[in-house]
Amino acid sequence: MNDPKITEVEGGITAPIGYRAAGVASGLKPTGLDLALVVSDSLASAAGVFTTNLAVAAPVTLAKKHLEKSSGFAKAIVVNSKCANACTGERGVTAAQAMAEDAATVLECNTEQVLVASTGVIGMHLDTNKVRAGIKEAAGQLCSGSHRRAAEAIMTTDISPKERAVIVKASSGSFTIGGMAKGAGMIEPNMATMLGFLTTDADVAPPLLNQALRTVVEDTFNAISVDGESSTNDTVFMLANGMSNVKITADDSTYTALVIGLTSVCSWLAQEIVRGGEGATKLVTISVVGAASNEEAKSAARLISNSPLVKTALHGGDPNWGRVLAVAGRSGVMFDQHKAEVRIGHVTLYADATVFSERESDAAQHMEGPEIDVTVDLGTGGTGRATMWTCDFSAEYVHINADYRT
């Protein structure tokens, strides 16, 4: 069968049939939008992927419980920015629970059908009175046209809102996938300080939705790095309300169409997180090939993506292939320096133990652009490969994080 046709459309998180959203200023931030509400008109299948950090925030713990208690169904997602509600003890647990209860009350649904998420400063207590008032206001403003305001409300140090939607035309019919995300710092694979929210009007049973989400997250949101720091609140939620009447099943082409469409949305959002990383001036694609396995390739790519020496060289436009090769060599995976290769753009700077210094000016020219490609062949002769996205380190990154709490 031919691959499904993917067409980008406007509408972000509310592009699929049967979704409404709102973004309001509840007063958690001194100025600007800080609370978002996303609602499905009908009860939807739901899935979530969460941070691996053991210092887990209260909303993450509560969302996991709600997904389990509801058997993977949800009606709404409520999100606040400015306050992470992390490391806040029992008071934080109570605040997260109140957030879900308040949304359930105004939406007239069961509390476990509300998924919650928070982002912002760790250790800050969430003002439940402001959140309660914000949820009530947001419920009164719900509409399909407020997707942009919702995307703005979840931002912290992001430079712009991130939203994406596509129509997937498969053999059994067309369905839509929409999404929004936030994240700019503390971004590291295995979920970092990012939030992602996805919707579809395809009909997908909760177990299959969970499978598709985890598959796609592994190669998108888990393949990005800004600074190698993992956070406490990282969450990706997905809702599927079935209102397109296109049913997704595991044993036919519809599942493949769902994964391809979802990958299109998530890979774009993931790259935008890196592109808009704190202080970032370059979007960098790290490709590792010639590895003994895909897992070893990803391990090497991750280490290269997180190397301060590599990232500062990228910022300075220095084609310092030696830093890249050194990181690959210490990554703990199979590596043969005599057969390894390093390319920046299409320029090979090192291959088969030979240095091509005369080509560095061509590589430096490639590095002047807003996007940089770095490819490393580990020289094992294996077929393992992986791609990760990262950014450069600039002085602005230091300034942002030195003043983050103020």
Residues classed as catalytic: 193
Taking alpha carbons only, the member of 126, 110, 114 closest to residue 78 is: 114
What amino acid occupies position 355?
A: V
Using the structure block, give the residue that is written with the tokens 């499905």: 40
83 secondary structure, DSSP code: B
Contact yes or no for 17/180 (Cβ under 8 A): no
How far is residue 132's CA from residue 159's CA, in Å, rounded to a whole number? Answer: 27
3-state secondary structure 97-159: HHHHHHHHHHHCCCHHHEEEEECCECCCCCCHHHHHHHHHHHHHHCEHHHHHHHHHHCCCCCC
The vertex-71 CA angle with 208 and 118, nearest 5°, equals: 90
386 secondary structure, DSSP code: E
How far is residue 269's CA from residue 177's CA, in Å, rounded to a whole number? Answer: 13
Three-class secondary structure of residue 48 per DSSP: strand
User: What is the helix (H) or strand (E) element at residue 62, kind and residue range?
Assistant: helix 58-69
